[in-house]
């Protein structure tokens, strides 16, 4: 058996799954999302059986803390992808013995973890130097400082998500995440000031999501489109302060654009349709 998915299954207990995993040690993909009984203690006993694991999903297992996360890393030398959304990761002390560099970890999905703080970001940025994807959406207690640290140190990041970040000023300065391609800032309070920093910090940006960023105006968006010369996709859905005229101008200015989710008031004019919307999807 290589892959086992028991998402949201009921009735079985720790004893059952522990016995199964002890007998079947070649598992590469394990999905236990929504397994409510799973706690750190249980999880620690499971980890030694998971030596071949490549990816795991323990999202919504809301009793798991940092201890489970580190147990997983210690026991699974091949693990590249961890999904641990809506858990208690961040709770529990981290000892210096846990400070090990894990080169193989590439994707971390850590959305909705309200116990994650800047200190964790600091540690993670040392531990996962080869990280390519980091999802921190709805992690409300990580400040822009923590975000800055990760993006600065993990220079291989290509996908970054901080949607629903509540902080009013998300300012990052003085670094360049030269490989970042996909940035999700939707439902945050970013404004033009933050957008001014984007081309400098993320010169290779391909996709930018600004959905429901109510403080963004066309000035900031324009600057991004003007200076991110590789930009292919931009989402301006529900950006109320961005005027609809910008759509046509963006397509003219940035021929690499392939898809635009237009701001709220946008109506395609007939005479633009033929000229502009041949090369770029506007919806």
Partner 1 sequence: MAAVNLLSSKRKKMATREFDSLPDDCWEYVLLKLLNNENDGVDDSNHCLKTPSVVSKQLLSISNRFVYSFTLIYNPSSLTRIFQRFPNLTSLDLSGFQGVNLNTLFSQIPRSVSLNLTSLNISNHPTFPALGLQTILKKNKSILTSLICSHVGNLKYDDMTFITDSFPFLQDLDISFPKERRIGNYYNDSYNNALKVLLTQKLSKLCKVNLSGNIYVNDSLFFQLCMNCEFLQEVVMSKCPSITYAGIASAICQRLSLTSLSVANFEEPSERKNVTSCFIDSLASLTSLTCLDLSFSCITDSMLDSLAHLQFFL
By the criterion CB under 8 A, which residues form the site for partner 1? 1-13, 15-17, 19-20, 22-24, 29, 31, 106-107, 132-133, 158-159, 181, 258-259, 277-278, 280-281, 283
Q: How far is the CB of 139 from partner 1 (least distance, A)?
A: 20
Name, in order, each residue with C-beta under 8 angstroms of 194's C-beta and a sequence gap of 6 or more: 169, 170, 171, 172, 185, 220
Report CA torsion sign: 12, 16, 22, 25. negative
Beta carbon nearer to partner 1, 41 or 166: 41
Q: Give the number of other CB atoms < 10 A from CB of residue 181.
A: 18
In the bound state with partner 1, the residue whose beta carbon lies nearer, of 10 and 173, is: 10
Least gap, CB of 159 to partner 1 (angstroms): 6
Alpha-carbon gap, residue 79 to 75, rounded angstroms: 9
By beta-carbon proximity to partner 1, the closer residue of 23 and 97 is: 23
* Residue whose pair of structure tokens reads 């999807």 in the numeric block: 281
Least distance to partner 1, CB of residue 76, Å = 18
Exposure of 74 by Cβ count < 10 A (0-12 exposed, 13-18 middle, 19+ buried)? middle
| Shortest Å, Cβ 132 to partner 1 | 5
- Between 7 and 41, CB nearer to partner 1: 7
Closest CA to 268 of 258, 282, 249: 282
Instruction: Find out whether 27 and 52 touch, Cβ atoms under 8 Å.
Output: yes
The token pair that represents 33 in the structure block? 């999302």
d(CA 66, CA 57) in angstroms, rounded, equals 15
Measured between alpha carbons, how far is 14 from 38 in angstroms, rounded to an integer? Answer: 7
What minimum distance in Å lies between the beta carbon of 6 and partner 1?
Answer: 6
Give 77: exposed, middle or buried? Use CB within 10 Å, 0-12, 13-18, 19+: exposed
Compute CA 14 distance to the chain's CA centroid, rounded to the nearest angstrom.
30
Taking the least distance from each CB to partner 1, the nearer of 252 and 275 is 275
The CA R_g of the chain, rounded to the nearest whole Å, is 21
Q: Between 19 and 99, whose beta carbon lies closer to partner 1? A: 19
CB of 5 to partner 1, least distance (A): 4
Shortest Cβ distance from residue 193 to partner 1 (Å)? 30
**Cβ 105 to partner 1 shortest distance, Å:** 13
For partner 1, the closer CB: 122 or 130: 130
Cβ distance to partner 1 smaller for residue 34 or 201: 34
């Amino acid at each position: 058996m290589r892959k086992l998915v028991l998402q949201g299954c009921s009735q079985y207990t720790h004893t059952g799954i522990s016995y199964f995993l002890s007998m079947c040690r070649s598992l590469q993909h394990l999905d236990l999302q929504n397994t409510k009984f799973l706690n750190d203690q249980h999880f620690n006993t499971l980890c030694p059986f998971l030596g071949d694991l490549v990816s795991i999903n323990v999202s919504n297992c809301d009793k798991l803390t940092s201890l489970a996360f580190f147990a997983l890393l210690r026991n699974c030398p091949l693990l590249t992808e961890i999904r641990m959304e809506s858990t208690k990761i961040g709770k529990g002390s981290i000892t210096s013995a846990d400070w090990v560099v894990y080169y193989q970890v590439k994707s971390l999905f850590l959305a909705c973890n309200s116990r994650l703080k800047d200190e964790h970001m600091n540690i993670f940025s040392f531990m996962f130097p080869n990280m390519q994807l980091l999802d921190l959406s709805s992690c409300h207690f990580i400040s822009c400082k923590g975000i800055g640290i990760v993006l600065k140190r993990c220079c291989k990041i290509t996908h970054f998500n901080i949607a629903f970040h509540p902080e009013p000023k998300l300012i990052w300065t003085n670094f360049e995440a030269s490989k970042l391609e996909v940035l999700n800032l939707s439902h945050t309070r970013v404004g033009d000031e933050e957008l001014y920093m984007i081309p400098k910090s993320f010169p290779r940006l391909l996709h930018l999501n600004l959905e429901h960023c109510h403080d963004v105006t066309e000035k900031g968006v324009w600057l991004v489109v003007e200076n991110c010369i590789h930009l292919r996709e931009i989402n301006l859905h529900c950006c109320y302060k961005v005027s609809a005229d910008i759509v046509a101008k963006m397509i003219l200015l940035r021929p690499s654009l392939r898809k635009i989710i237009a701001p709220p008031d946008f109506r395609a004019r007939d005479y633009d349709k033929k000229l502009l919307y041949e090369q770029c999807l506007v919806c």
